[in-house]
């Protein structure tokens, strides 16, 4: 073996653990506002992910003792579960996660080789295939017409059965982004819409706090140098810039930058999803372009498209550009002139 003979005490495993840790505050807020059902989703996704991962590792003759515990499958599972509606039926979580791990991750080469963000592939496939359950969002506890006990949550998730006297509408409601869109279609102005009870100061009641917790977790990851600032800043910046411009032009029809940043998947997207190292560019400039691209696409899909949120598709579209971005944003190598195509010759 060649030198170096010492390495920093770090590992893939340690990085993934920190990502999971950074998600904990947001999960806490989630439980507080939307009930403990999300924990069941997380558990379900984790178990599915590990089982699929183990099976695929076996098929591909990879060492389970190293790869099953690397934490990457759990991260995918958690991100996917957190992107799905809180009361998503069990099969939705299981199928989505299985698809993410088996197809999006392993059929594309496994850890380090997949082109597309597995969690977002799982999400996209689910929303295209099962649009109805994917858009049934549980209402925040403070707003829901009726409360479900944890047992009732479980019954709904696993059997699709609600207590006799309840209709689905009583426990779910449209997401803030959806509400905004439908209300705009009904030609209400933005200031009227924002007075609806579902909205808080930043985004939706409840979900704005969860988004703040994502921000907090993201800052922890930055501080721990698990991620760099480029992608979150570029994505949030681009999203805010486009939103701010349009909001400035027509404040009645275009939501404010703050609203765009703290609703939907913008925060988890900026700090946890777009920063997935495997599917993001590696060069600083590439990361900036990548993040900015996601920000703009997210805004466009949210505002002009037909899907409840644009983060997933924004990320997937930008994933495709990563090889190009990497190739065209190579930093200047030490001792080289700024523009140089053929570099180093054997010496």
- Smallest gap from residue 51 Cβ to other proteins (A): 18
Instruction: List the beta bridge partners of residue 173.
Output: 137
- Smallest gap from residue 344 Cβ to other proteins (A): 3
Give the H or E element holding residue 56.
helix 37-59
As a whole number of Å, the end-to-end CA separation of the chain is: 24
- Smallest gap from residue 278 Cβ to other proteins (A): 5
3-state SS, residue 197? coil
- Smallest gap from residue 225 Cβ to other proteins (A): 8
Q: In whole angstroms, what is the distance from residue 155 CA to residue 225 CA?
A: 42
3-state SS, residue 157? helix
Nearest residue (CB) to other proteins, 4 versus 151: 4
Nearest residue (CB) to other proteins, 10 versus 142: 10
Give the H or E element holding residue 258.
helix 257-262
Instruction: List the beta bridge partners of residue 188.
Output: none
- Contact residues: other proteins, CB under 8 A: 1-8, 10-12, 14-15, 61-67, 70, 72, 110-113, 228, 277-278, 280, 282-283, 297, 300-301, 303-307, 313, 317, 320-321, 324, 326, 328, 330-336, 341-347
Q: In whole angstroms, what is the distance from residue 295 CA to residue 261 CA?
A: 10
Nearest residue (CB) to other proteins, 37 versus 301: 301
Instruction: List the beta bridge partners of residue 138.
Output: 172
- Smallest gap from residue 44 Cβ to other proteins (A): 26
Nearest residue (CB) to other proteins, 244 versus 277: 277
Q: In whole angstroms, what is the distance from residue 194 CA to residue 203 CA?
A: 9
Nearest residue (CB) to other proteins, 16 versus 190: 16
């Amino acid at each position: 073996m060649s030198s170096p003979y010492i390495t920093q005490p770090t590992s893939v495993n340690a990085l993934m653990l920190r990502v999971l840790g950074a998600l904990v505050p947001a999960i806490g807020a989630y439980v507080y506002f939307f009930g403990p059902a999300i924990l069941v989703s997380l558990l379900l996704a984790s178990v599915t992910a590990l089982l699929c991962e183990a099976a695929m590792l076996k098929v591909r003759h990879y060492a389970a003792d190293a790869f099953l515990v690397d934490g990457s499958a759990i991260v995918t599972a958690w991100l996917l579960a957190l992107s799905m509606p809180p009361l998503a039926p069990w099969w939705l979580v299981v199928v989505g996660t299985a698809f993410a791990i088996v197809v999006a991750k392993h059929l594309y080469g496994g850890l380090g080789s997949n082109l597309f963000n597995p969690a977002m592939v799982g999400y996209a496939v689910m929303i295209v295939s099962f649009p109805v359950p994917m858009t049934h969002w549980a209402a925040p506890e403070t707003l829901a017409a009726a409360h479900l006990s944890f047992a009732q949550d479980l019954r709904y998730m696993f059997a699709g059965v609600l207590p006799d006297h309840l209709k689905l509408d009583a426990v779910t409601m449209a997401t803030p982004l959806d509400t905004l869109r439908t209300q705009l279609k009904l030609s209400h102005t933005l200031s009227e819409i924002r007075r609806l009870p579902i909205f808080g100061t930043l985004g939706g009641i409840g979900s704005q706090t969860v988004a703040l917790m994502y921000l907090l977790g993201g800052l922890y990851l930055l501080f721990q140098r698990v991620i760099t600032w480029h992608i979150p800043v570029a994505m949030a910046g681009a999203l805010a810039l486009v939103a701010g411009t349009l909001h400035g032009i027509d404040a009645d029809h275009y939501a404010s930058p703050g609203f765009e940043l703290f609703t939907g998947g913008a925060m988890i997207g900026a700090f946890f999803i777009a920063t997935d190292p495997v599917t993001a560019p590696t060069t600083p400039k590439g990361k900036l372009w990548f993040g900015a691209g996601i920000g703009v696409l997210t805004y466009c899909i949210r505002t002009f498209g037909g899907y409840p949120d644009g983060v997933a598709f924004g990320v997937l579209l930008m994933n495709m550009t990563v090889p190009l971005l990497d190739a065209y944003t190579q930093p200047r190598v030490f001792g080289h002139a700024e523009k140089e195509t053929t570099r180093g010759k054997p010496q």
